[in-house]
Amino acid sequence: MAFFEPIGTCMLALACLAPVQPAESTFQLTSHHANGRIGSVSLTCQPTGGSHPGRGKACASLSKVDGKFDRLRGEPRACTLEYSPVDVSAVGKWRGEPVIFRTSYANPCVADADSDGVFTF
């Protein structure tokens, strides 16, 4: 038995040296359009995954603002002044911390531009 004690101690020590992985970030994103269309996708960051069609860009955008959806800012661009509201929400966690976000945009173009692609689906 004494033979295995150093091996066990070594194994435990090596486990302690393993790099710490950041807590997973996962979201369920939904959009409700004025025309009745409802969209819903999953988004996982670190590692990137989910059903979001632009998951890489969406995760990069969220990383820039440390997962704070209210700080998302896209590139300025021209959108029509059409009023066709889109209500969006994000429920999940960013690096292990709970996140609940809801807001409305004037139309789908504004939702895309102002969320830096996070709510483009």
pLDDT in tens, 80-119: 999 999 999 999 999 999 999 999 999 999 999 999 999 9
Q: Quickly tell me which residue has 């173009």 as its tokens.
A: 109
Residue 35, helix vs strand vs coil: coil
Name which residue leads in pLDDT, 51 or 22.
Answer: 51
User: Which percentage of the chain shows pLDDT scores above 90?
Assistant: 76
Neighbours of 24 (CB within 10 A): 15
Query: What are the tokens at 97?
Result: 């911390």
Query: What are the tokens at 79?
Result: 């959108």
Query: What are the tokens at 22?
Result: 């950041």
Q: Is the pLDDT of residue 55 over 80?
A: yes
**What's the DSSP call for residue 42?**
E
Q: Are 74 and 114 in contact (CB under 8 A)?
A: yes
- Residue 16: pLDDT band by 50, 70, 90 thresholds? low
Q: Are 106 and 83 in contact (CB under 8 A)?
A: yes
